[in-house]
């Protein structure tokens, strides 16, 4: 429904869901498009949010140890949920089963519900009149909030929100999302500067 409110057709919504199997990137893309952002800028923001899956892949490649011919297909299912299930398994066989079952189940259900949601959005007409433009950000926040467990993570999220909202009136749509990414290195730099340096003492 969110993508329909952003101007995407039923076919475009389904193709996006099939090819971009990561919720955060999808919400970022359609949110930027809904705000009138440039498609390339919107795609850049979605790509940036999806880069975390590359780090998941580095770890899963060691645990799964799949044949090279299968790896490109398995990479499409490397998301938060499949990674979490795979890492919780005690053996390589269990890792492969957990990853595969979780990937297949989520991929099928995600695309099925995407199709039904987009179909329903076309049936109800003007999605803006129903306030569905707020559904994407609300879902994204619901997914993100439980992951902010440490003070560092909460500080990074808070600074990112300030950057995103603060730059929203002065930058084109989609660009504030990219600028908000500066929160992570800023927090890491602040933490590094706050750590006391140990004095090196020579031999007595």
Q: Are residues 9 and 37 in the same domain?
A: yes
Residue 83 located in a structural domain = yes
Count: domains in the chain:
2
Instruction: Check residue 81 and give its pLDDT.
Output: 86
Instruction: Check residue 190 and give its pLDDT.
Output: 85
Q: Are residues 21 and 107 in the same domain?
A: yes
Q: Are residues 91 and 154 in the same domain?
A: no
Residue 58 located in a structural domain = yes
Contacts of 30 (CB under 8 A, 6+ apart): 2, 3, 5, 6, 8, 16, 136
pTM > 0.85: yes or no: no
Instruction: Check residue 99 and give its pLDDT.
Output: 94
Percentages (nearest 5) of helix, strand, coil residues in the chain: 75, 0, 25
Residue 14 located in a structural domain = yes
Residue 166 located in a structural domain = yes
Q: What are the pLDDT tens digits along the chain (204 aa)?
A: 566 656 677 888 888 889 888 877 787 777 777 667 677 777 877 787 778 788 889 889 999 999 999 998 999 999 888 998 998 899 999 999 999 999 999 999 999 988 888 787 666 655 555 555 566 566 667 767 777 888 888 888 889 889 888 887 887 766 777 788 788 888 888 887 655 554 545 554
Residue 119 located in a structural domain = yes
Q: Are residues 73 and 156 in the same domain?
A: no
Instruction: Check residue 13 and give its pLDDT.
Output: 84
Q: Are residues 89 and 159 in the same domain?
A: no
Instruction: Check residue 179 and give its pLDDT.
Output: 80
Residue 43 located in a structural domain = yes
Q: Are residues 100 and 28 in the same domain?
A: yes
Instruction: Check residue 100 and give its pLDDT.
Output: 94
Residue 40 located in a structural domain = yes
Q: Are residues 157 and 127 in the same domain?
A: no
Instruction: Check residue 7 and give its pLDDT.
Output: 67
- Sign of the CA dihedral running 25, 48, 137, 148: positive
Contacts of 66 (CB under 8 A, 6+ apart): 74, 96
Q: Are residues 63 and 23 in the same domain?
A: yes
Q: Are residues 191 and 113 in the same domain?
A: no
Residue 202 located in a structural domain = no
Q: Are residues 72 and 127 in the same domain?
A: yes
Q: Are residues 177 and 142 in the same domain?
A: no
The full 3-state SS of 133-179, as one line of letters, equals HHHHHHHHHHHHHHHCCCHHHHHHHHHHHHHHHHHCCCCCCCHHHHH
Instruction: Check residue 46 and give its pLDDT.
Output: 78
Instruction: Spell out a b/e string for 44-73, using b for 16 or more CB atoms within 10 Å of the CB, else e.
Output: bbbebbbebbeebbeebeebbebeeeeeee
Instruction: List the domain range (segments joined by +) for residue 20.
Output: 2-147
- Neighbouring CB atoms inside 10 A of 179's CB total 16
């Amino acid at each position: 429904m969110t993508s329909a409110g952003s101007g995407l057709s039923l076919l475009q919504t389904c193709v996006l869901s099939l090819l971009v199997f990561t919720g955060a990137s999808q919400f970022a893309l359609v949110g930027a498009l809904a705000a009138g952002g440039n498609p390339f800028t919107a795609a850049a923001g979605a790509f940036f949010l999806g880069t975390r899956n590359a780090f998941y892949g580095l770890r899963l490649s060691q645990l799964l140890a799949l044949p090279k011919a299968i790896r490109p297909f398995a990479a499409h299912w490397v998301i938060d949920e499949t990674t979490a299930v795979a890492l919780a398994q005690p053996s390589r066989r269990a890792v492969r089963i957990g990853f595969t079952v979780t990937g297949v189940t989520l991929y099928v259900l995600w695309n099925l519900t995407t199709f039904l949601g987009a179909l329903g959005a076309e049936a109800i007409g003007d999605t803006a009149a129903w306030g569905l433009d707020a559904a994407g950000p609300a879902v994204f926040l619901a997914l993100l909030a439980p992951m902010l467990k440490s003070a560092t993570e909460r500080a990074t999220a808070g600074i990112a929100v300030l950057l995103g909202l603060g730059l929203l009136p002065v930058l084109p749509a989609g660009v504030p999302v990219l600028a908000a990414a500066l929160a992570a290195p800023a927090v890491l730099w602040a933490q590094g500067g706050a750590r006391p340096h140990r004095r090196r003492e020579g031999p007595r």
